[in-house]
């Protein structure tokens, strides 16, 4: 703990956050937003509020984790229920931009009602080097990105989180369920639930960082290549195929390229 208190990057982040006077953190319960919330709590104490948006494309288990973490950090936590925006109903290629505009617009409205000065998100410095179309929306809405602005990387966040005993320090990256559906495809809630249930089933079997990409009746499973031997275990293989077919998939496949972010962007 003492080591992080003497870290120049962390000290600068706390100073930056104190300068906001009051802030709302867009909180998913993921690695980045959890660390930001913990740092903001240290800097602003009761002048920090966590906002979590519950939509059909966010898994229920992630909402539950966000609630537990906010409670553990003793931070005021507000849940906003939101429908699927008509603008992204058919999963357009600029979905992330449109989604960020919609969701952060909702958070800004709620924050304004509470006279909160700023809304902040967990975008980190590494995100500058990846395909992140939502960043344009954040800039347009004047959302603060303290981790990005203070050049804090994903490695920094995991290291700091471990020092702060945050439960997310080694949590795998996670993205919303819309990333499991091909672009220009109608978003139907039953398909999102099927993907959510399939991934949760695989996670309970020990597969971390798993994705189940849904191509109509075909499930394309992405896992780390280091776990290929596990899934090829005949008993486990039969169990997975049977369960996913029970959920409504007709074909169950393993992507031999393994897990990678943004495979639907290709």
pLDDT per residue over 247-262, tens digit each?
A: 999 999 999 999 988 7
- CATH of 2-163, picked from 3.10.450.50, 3.40.50.300, 3.40.50.620, 2.40.40.20, is 3.40.50.620
Using the predicted structure, report yes or no on whether residue 130 has a pLDDT greater than 80. Answer: no
Of 127, 137, 128, nearest to 104 (Cα)? 137
Note the pLDDT of residue 186: 96
Of 58, 60, 53, 46, nearest to 27 (Cα)? 53
168-182: pLDDT as tens digits: 999 998 889 999 999
DSSP 234: H
What integer is the mean pLDDT of 57-64?
95
Using the predicted structure, report yes or no on whether residue 224 has a pLDDT greater than 90. Answer: yes
What integer is the mean pLDDT of 67-80?
98
Thinking of the domain 177-265, which architecture would CATH place it in?
A: 2-Layer Sandwich (3.30)
101-111: pLDDT as tens digits: 999 999 999 99
Domain ranges in the chain? 2-163, 177-265
pLDDT-derived band at 86, boundaries 50, 70, 90? very high
If you average pLDDT over every residue of the chain, what do you get? 94
pLDDT-derived band at 1, boundaries 50, 70, 90? low
Note the pLDDT of residue 117: 96
Please check whether residue 26 is in contact with residue 58, taking contact to mean a CB–CB distance below 8 angstroms: no
Indicate the range of 113-122, 132-141, 176-185, 218-227 predicted with least confidence.
132-141
Shared fold status for 2-163 and 177-265: no
What integer is the mean pLDDT of 145-149?
97
Please check whether residue 218 is in contact with residue 249, taking contact to mean a CB–CB distance below 8 angstroms: yes
3-52: pLDDT as tens digits: 787 899 999 999 999 999 999 999 999 999 999 999 999 999 999 999 99
Q: What is the DSSP string of 92-158?
A: -TTHHHHHHHHHHHHHHHHHHHTT-SEEE----GGGGGS--THHHHHHHTT-B-HHHHTT--HHHHH
Residues in CB range of 229: below 8 A, 6 or more apart? none
Tokens standing for residue 109 = 């409205």
Note the pLDDT of residue 261: 80
pLDDT-derived band at 61, boundaries 50, 70, 90? very high
Using the predicted structure, report yes or no on whether residue 151 has a pLDDT greater than 80. Answer: yes
Based on the number of CB atoms within 10 Å of its own CB, is 120 exposed (0-12), middle (13-18) or buried (19 or more)? buried
Using the predicted structure, report yes or no on whether residue 233 has a pLDDT greater than 90. Answer: no
Note the pLDDT of residue 154: 96
| Number of helical (H) and strand (E) elements in the chain, helices listed first | 11, 7
Question: How many CA atoms are closer than 13 Å to the CA of 59, on its beta-carbon side?
Answer: 20
Note the pLDDT of residue 208: 87
């Amino acid at each position: 703990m003492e080591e992080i208190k003497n870290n120049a990057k962390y000290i600068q982040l706390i100073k930056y956050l104190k300068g906001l006077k009051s802030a709302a953190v867009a909180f998913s319960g993921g690695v980045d937003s959890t660390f930001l919330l913990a740092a903001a709590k240290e800097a602003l104490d009761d002048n920090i509020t966590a906002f979590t948006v519950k939509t059909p494309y966010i898994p229920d288990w992630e909402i539950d984790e966000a609630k537990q973490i906010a409670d553990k950090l003793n931070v005021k936590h507000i849940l906003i229920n939101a429908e699927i925006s008509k603008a992204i109903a058919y999963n357009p290629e600029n979905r992330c931009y449109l989604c960020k505009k919609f969701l952060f617009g909702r958070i800004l409205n709620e924050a304004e009602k509470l006279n909160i000065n700023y809304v902040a998100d967990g975008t980190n410095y590494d995100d500058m080097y990846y395909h992140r179309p939502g960043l344009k929306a954040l800039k347009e809405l004047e959302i603060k990105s303290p981790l990005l602005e203070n050049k804090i990387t994903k490695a920094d966040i995991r290291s700091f989180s471990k020092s702060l005993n945050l439960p997310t320090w080694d949590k795998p990256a996670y993205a919303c369920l819309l990333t499991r559906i091909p672009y220009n495809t109608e978003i139907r809630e039953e398909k999102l639930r099927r993907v959510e249930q399939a991934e949760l089933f695989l996670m309970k079997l020990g597969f971390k960082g798993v994705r189940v990409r849904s191509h109509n009746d075909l499930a394309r499973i992405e896992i780390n290549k280091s776990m290929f031997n596990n899934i090829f275990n005949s008993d486990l293989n039969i169990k997975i195929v049977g369960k996913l077919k029970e959920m409504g998939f007709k074909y169950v496949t393993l992507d031999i390229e393994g897990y990678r972010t943004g495979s639907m962007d290709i």
